[in-house]
Amino acid sequence: MAGRARPTRPTEPPRLTEAAFGELYRRLLGRSAWASGERGALAALTPSRVAAAAREVRTGRTVTLAAPVETWPGPDNPTPAKHRMNGRPGEDAPGGLHFARDSFAMNVHGDVDSHLDALCHVVYDGTLHGGVPASSVTADGATALSLEAARDGIVGRGVLLDVPRLRGVPWLEPGDHVTAGDLAAAETAQHVRVQEGDLLFVRVGHRRRRAELGAWHTASRRAGLHPSALEFLADRRVALLGGDGNNDTAPGSTDGVDFPVHVLAIHAMGLHLLDYLQFEDLAPVCETADRWSFLCVIAPLRLPDATGSPVNPIAVL
């Protein structure tokens, strides 16, 4: 993919002290008071906005934003999903009716498979989003802010901002940060503007790097958003954030908080997160059409007490 702007890394954003992170958290919390209740920021997906998003459809082309579920171990996937065949009628099966049957088990919040984080996923200072007690997550599941909030699906206008394209590189290297300035510059370069209630997707090129260079220990080294970039999301009042990595950078950028973007997005702002998507199918389509917005449909599994779900988001152009 050809770049459109600066080919080198901009000035490194500052590391946040615990005090500076606390100030940012309180600022974003105050600006996101509208995103309250079980659905959090999904409340912005009003029927009128969903209807408007449907008008994004022009060609009817559909593109997946998910990666295939992986069932083999690797440096970034020590506990892979398990796929077991429970019934496999072979060529020598006797006559009559038979069924092929299988079962799956997976670690939903791993570092490889595409998944949705519910608002009960992050516990910070003893609470969930909105001050809900952490004790609401029990041994039997979450009794508040669970995946049930997305039972009717998540449908809205999706916008893909491609930061490697902006910088003229195939991917961002592990440890690199996406800033609010990057997001604003990507809007300008892509002739698109993120609007209230949008589903924002940010490409860092994690999947392309992994495909070309091989898997690595993602938990310790990955590109993601700088915590200050969440100011951009608050400005635009987005309904959801999705990335092709973990959304958080590693090594971390904040003293005392290992996953600052997760804390700010889920706990302070009420944003459901999508981690480890893949945009390598969608980005070339958007590039060719010079069109970076689309209808997006996300249908997580109906797991009422769960903290997350594997997902296969679909862009409809």
Q: What is the pLDDT of residues 91-118, one digit of tens each?
A: 666 788 888 899 999 999 999 999 999 9
Look at the chain and count its residues: 317
Check: CB of residue 113 under 8 Å from CB of residue 246: no
Mean pLDDT, range 152-161, rounded to an integer: 98
C-alpha dist (Å) from residue 74 to 65, 83, 131: 22, 16, 37
**Distance of alpha carbon 155 from alpha carbon 42, whole angstroms:** 10
- 200 contacts: CB under 8 Å, gap ≥ 6: 158, 159, 161, 194, 233, 236, 238, 240, 241, 242
Q: Reduced to 3 DSSP states, what percent helix, strand and coil does the chain have, rounded to the nearest 5? A: 30, 20, 50
Residues paired with 154 in a beta bridge: 298
Residues 253-294 pLDDT 10s: 999 999 999 999 999 999 999 999 999 999 999 999 999 999
pLDDT at 8 over 60: no
**Pair type for strands 115-117 and 308-310:** antiparallel
Residue 6 has pLDDT above 50, yes or no: no
Residue 232: CB partners within 8 Å, gap ≥ 6?
A: 180, 183, 184, 194
pTM confidence score: 0.94
CB contact at 8 A, 143 and 306: no
- At 94 the pLDDT is 74
- The most distant pair of C-alpha atoms in the chain lies apart, rounded to whole Å, by 71
Identify whether the C-beta of residue 298 lies closer than 8 Å to the C-beta of residue 153.
yes
The predicted model gives 213-227 an average pLDDT of 97
pLDDT at 4: 46
How much is the pLDDT for 2?
A: 44
pLDDT tens column, 13-48: 889 999 999 999 999 999 998 888 899 999 999 999
Which residues are CB-neighbours of 127 under 8 A, at least 6 positions away? 133, 134, 267
Q: How confident is the model at residue 1 (pLDDT cuts 50, 70, 90)?
A: very low
Count Cβ atoms within 10 A of the Cβ of residue 101 and give its class: 0-12 exposed, 13-18 middle, 19 or more buried.
exposed
Residue 187 neighbours by CB distance under 10 Å = 18
